[in-house]
Amino acid sequence: MINDIYREKEISGCGLSAYMDESGRRTSGDDIIQSIALLHDRSNGLGGGFAAYGIYPEFPDSYAFHLFYDDGASQVTCEELIHASFHIRESGPIATRKAFGIGPSPIIWRYFVDPKEEILERAGLSADDFVVREVMKINKTIEGAFVFSSGKNMGAFKAVGFPEDVGDFYRLDEYRAYMWVAHGRFPTNTPGWWGGAHPFTILDWAIVHNGEISSYGINKRYVEMFGYHCTMMTDTEVMAYLFDLLLRKHGLPIETACAILAPPFWDLIAHMPEEEKNYYTTLRMVYGSAMANGPFAIVLGSRDMMVALNDRVKLRPLVAARKGSIVYVSSEESGIREICPRPDTVWMPRTGEPVIARLQQEAAS
């Protein structure tokens, strides 16, 4: 459990890169590492991380928990809790190799788990809601234990270090995914903490973020009304919960969720046709507390979708490109051209206009 009110909100700059092959074809982590390595100067070695989708085809329907433990004691306590609520299909340490620049690591463990039916019934919750609750419980109450990934057939990998070294450390060249999301941090006010690196995940959602959310204080209080607890002291985490709330719990389409996070200005709304005006006005009235204000460029990954979004006045860089079935986004065009020298199209997404890539079908191989 991390409890430090001095670091309520992280202030950081960053670099990000991501791509999705909409055809579902899976590739190794080599390309994404190469892309984010080019953006080396956008981070300062205090955190790097990746999210990869489609990497656990052998357990596609189990929740893959990735945990950091400070010590053996926290592992024992936490595993008691996991055992009580879940059937563990398989568990073991996540494979790593010695890598340049990666310091002493916590215990890093992986569990493939299924919630116990009878417990779900008693709790009266869907499996997803139950997992969210348990993850919150572990992160909030168990000293030294931290769940940093909890989705199905996907995983987050993160550490203190430069992102390319983190990729090397986690042996990402050995995983194959149809979507890769990478991030390098440049925090200015947080000491290195492995859990503090991006991406932030809950269930299948993974989010990386360059920016600072000035609305964090209210975004946090808003999601707390729905049972989310911000345990990682960063504004990025709250974005992950906002997406989970809007997309999964409120059942809103992704375009609507993006319009809530980065809505058009009232002046623009005033000139829209009646139906559209009513739609955006209502969104802003009802979801004003969910608006993300301040500079941001984010990439959100989920099982069948990759979404990139800029803030309302484009205060952080974001470039997108497409080559065949692959959609790329990056903080810099060079990050894309490094691994895809001649894309079909390259564009700068406008403020509040999401870049959305959708998975056509999952690859068999």
Partner 1 sequence: MRFSYLEPEFLVERNLERCIRCQVCVRQCAFEAHRYDAASDVVTVDSSRCVGCLRCVTMCPTDALIVRQNPTTFKENANWTGRVIKNIYKQAETGGVLLTGMGNDRPYPIYWDHMVLNASQVTNPSIDPLREPMELKTYLGRKPERLDVSVKDGKISLNTKLAPQLELRMPVVFSALSYGAISFNASKALASAAYEFGTYYNTGEGGLHRDLYRYGERTIVQCASGRFGVHKDYLQAAAAIEIKIGQGAKPGIGGHLPGEKVSREVSRTRMIPEGSDALSPAPHHDIYSIEDLRQLIYALKEATRYEKPVSVKIAAVHNSAAIASGMVRAGADIIALDGIRGGTGAAPTTIRDNVGIPIELAIASVDQRLREEGIRHQASILAAGGFRSSSDVIKAIALGADAVYIGTSALVAMGCHLCQICYTGKCNWGIATQDPYLEKRLNPEIAKERLMNLLRAWEHEIKEMLGGMGINAIESLRGNRLHLRGVGLTDSELEILGILPAGR
- Binding partner 1 by CB under 8 A: which of 252, 306, 320, 336? 252
Nearer to partner 1, 252 or 299 (CB): 252
Q: Residue 340 in contact with residue 323, Cβ under 8 Å?
A: yes
14 catalytic? Reply is: yes
C-alpha–C-alpha distance, residues 184 and 160, integer Å: 10
Smallest separation, CB 315 to partner 1 (Å)? 6
| Per CB under 8 A, 294 contacts partner 1 | yes
- Residue 273 CB, shortest distance to partner 1, in Å, is 13
Please state, in angstroms and rounded to a whole number, the distance separating the CA atoms of residues 4 and 24: 41
- Examine residue 305 and tell whether it contacts partner 1 (CB under 8 A): no
**How many whole angstroms from its chain centre is CA 138?**
19
Toward partner 1, which CB reaches closer, 77 or 289?
289
| Residues between 261 and 290 with contacts to partner 1, criterion CB under 8 A | 265-267, 275, 278-279, 282-289
Q: How far is CA 113 from CA 45, 82, 187, 312, 350, in A?
A: 33, 8, 33, 39, 40
Which range of residues in 65-73, 112-120, 250-258, 356-364 is near partner 1 by CB under 8 A? 250-258
Verify binding: residue 35, partner 1, rule CB under 8 A.
Answer: no
Is 2 one of the binding residues for partner 1 (CB under 8 A)? no
Strands (E), 188-304: 200-202, 205-211, 296-302
Which amino acid makes up residue 16? L
Dihedral (Cα; 309, 314, 315, 318), 10-degree rounding: 50
Q: And the tokens for 28?
A: 């190794």
Residue 203 phi/psi, 5° resolution?
50, -130
Tell me the closest approach of the beta carbon of residue 254 to partner 1, in angstroms.
Answer: 10
Catalytic residue among 14, 78, 230, 340: 14
Q: Is 83 in the site for partner 1 (CB under 8 A)?
A: no
144 vs 295, which CB is nearer to partner 1? 295
Determine if 221 is a binding residue for partner 1 (CB under 8 A).
yes
Residue 289 DSSP one-character state:
G
- Which one of residues 39, 52, 242, 291 is an interface residue with partner 1 (CB under 8 A)? 291
**From residue 308 to residue 337, what is the string marking binding to partner 1 with x (rule CB under 8 A)?**
----xx-x----------------------
Identify which of 126, 64, 49, 117 has the alpha carbon closest to the alpha carbon of residue 94: 64
Angle of helix 254-261 relative to helix 274-287, nearest 10 degrees? 70
Residues 354, 256 contacting (CB under 8 angstroms): no
Instruction: Please check whether residue 260 is in contact with residue 246, taking contact to mean a CB–CB distance below 8 angstroms.
Output: yes
Q: Collapse the DSSP code of 180 into the 3-class scheme (helix H, G, I; strand E, B; otherwise coil) and give the result.
A: strand
What's the closest the beta carbon of residue 206 comes to partner 1, in angstroms?
24
CB of 204 to partner 1, least distance (A): 20
Asked whether position 110 contacts partner 1 by CB under 8 A, the answer is no
Q: Does 94 engage in binding with partner 1 (CB under 8 A)?
A: no
Please tell me the distance from the alpha carbon of residue 286 to that of residue 111, in angstroms, as a whole number: 38
The answer to the question of residue 360 lying near partner 1 (CB under 8 A) is no
The catalytic site residues sit at 14
Binding residues for partner 1, rule: CB under 8 A, are 5-6, 8-9, 11-13, 188, 211-212, 214-218, 221-222, 224-226, 249-253, 255-256, 265-267, 275, 278-279, 282-289, 291, 293-295, 312-313, 315
